[in-house]
Amino acid sequence: MTENVIETENLTKFYGERCAVYRVNLRVPRGVVYGFLGPNGAGKSTTIGMLVGCLRPTYGKVRIFGLDVFRHRTKIMERVGYLPEKPVAYRNMRVEEFLEYMGRLEGLSRGEAREKARELLGFVGLGRLAMKKVETLSAGERQRLGFAQALIGDPELLILDEPTSNLDPVARFEILSKIRWLASKKGVTTFISSHVIPEVSRVSDYVGIINNGSLIAQGHITDLVAQEEDEYIVRVSDPKRLIDRLRERDYVLEVVSEGKDGVRLKVDINNAHNLWIELPELLVEERLALYEFKPIGDPLEKLFLRKLGVFQ
Ligand SMILES: Nc1ncnc2c1ncn2[C@@H]1O[C@H](COP(=O)(O)OP(=O)(O)O)[C@@H](O)[C@H]1O
Ligand SMILES: [Mg+2]
């Protein structure tokens, strides 16, 4: 049985005359990492604001764990960890003290809150800053603290609004690995917004693409990108021979040599499966050794750009 942890129905938000989110129908299955991808101003934060009950929709519904967010907000939020785009923390508190305090607000005892705060500071890589004042943290460190805060109540669902936007590449890698770990090992469903395509393609199982307030694609990442992979590099022992043979195929749009032993190949996306069937046969017939076969580029990026009308 597939159960959706988040479901929205024609979710719509107008700021005065300006439409920020229009008829969005999200489907987020339990246990997945769902990447909510869109350029700046697309409507990601507005959508998330409505998911967590901070913003009232102009029209439409949000159900989390099958419950209406506006009727059961407190009950739902007990099971949700939320990291806002600009995390807020009490500036005068010390880092560990702040997390402990948040744990107490989540209903943990003093001892539990302290233990959990220590554990999470280690988990997000802030252990050595435990005694620093929150106001002295850099933007990236504050984002790590926000991530820890989102985790303090052991949530079943994490909603993270651009959690890596202020992080350097190493910290970004670390936090994304933690998100994957939480999903795989603890079954935490994660909804993460981002405008960074490679990041979404690395961390997500499901993807939703939003542009100008509308959801323009949604689904399992493998299904979504299956139709996007149309360029390959093939390295073989005799590239000229392979080029001659591939030229005669009608599904091959372009085939040129690349480097010492490479062949660069563009296929007609609607008949691309023919390549998978025929290439091994060709290699055997021509007695060619295969050194490498790999797609070129990030298929999610191709999908994203095509959906946004940037090319094709
Ligand atoms: N409080 C607001 N008042 C008016 N317009 C807003 C407000 N917040 C966001 N917007 C507008 O709504 C659109 C979507 O914004 P937002 O949801 O923040 O996008 P994203 O998070 O994808 O960058 C943008 O055009 C933005 O300017
Ligand atoms: Mg935003």
pLDDT for the residue numbered 230: 87
The whole-chain average pLDDT of the chain stands at 93
pLDDT for the residue numbered 311: 65
- Quote the ligand 2 centre to 46 CA distance (angstroms): 7
- Burial code of 161-183, b = ≥16 C-beta within 10 A, e = fewer? bbbbbbbeeebbebbbebbbebb
CATH topology of domain 231-307: Alpha-Beta Plaits (3.30.70)
pLDDT for the residue numbered 233: 95
Ligand 1 atom closest to Cα of residue 40: 23
Give, for ligand 1, the residue of 12, 13, 46 to mutate: max count of ligand atoms closer than 8 Å to Cβ. 46
- Ligand 1 atom 18 nearest Cα: 45
pLDDT for the residue numbered 199: 92
pLDDT for the residue numbered 18: 96
pLDDT for the residue numbered 229: 85
pLDDT for the residue numbered 310: 81
Q: Residue 228 in contact with residue 302, Cβ under 8 Å?
A: yes
For ligand 1, say whether the CB of 18 is within 6 Å of any of its atoms.
yes
For ligand 1, say whether the CB of 291 is within 6 Å of any of its atoms.
no
- Quote the ligand 2 centre to 304 CA distance (angstroms): 18
For ligand 1, say whether the CB of 11 is within 6 Å of any of its atoms.
no
For ligand 1, say whether the CB of 38 is within 6 Å of any of its atoms.
yes
- Quote the ligand 2 centre to 163 CA distance (angstroms): 10
pLDDT for the residue numbered 234: 96
For ligand 1, say whether the CB of 15 is within 6 Å of any of its atoms.
yes
For ligand 1, say whether the CB of 122 is within 6 Å of any of its atoms.
no
For ligand 1, say whether the CB of 43 is within 6 Å of any of its atoms.
yes
Question: Are 4-219 and 231-307 in the same CATH fold?
Answer: no
Ligand number nearest to the C-alpha of 165: 2
- Quote the ligand 1 centre to 212 CA distance (angstroms): 10
pLDDT tens across 130-184, in order?
A: 999 999 999 899 999 999 999 999 999 999 999 999 898 889 999 999 999 999 9
* Domain ranges within the chain, ordered by starting residue: 4-219, 231-307
Give pLDDT < 70 ranges for the chain: 1-2, 311-312
pLDDT for the residue numbered 73: 94
Superfamily for the 4-219 domain: P-loop containing nucleotide triphosphate hydrolases (3.40.50.300)
For ligand 1, say whether the CB of 42 is within 6 Å of any of its atoms.
yes
pLDDT for the residue numbered 226: 82
- Quote the ligand 2 centre to 49 CA distance (angstroms): 10
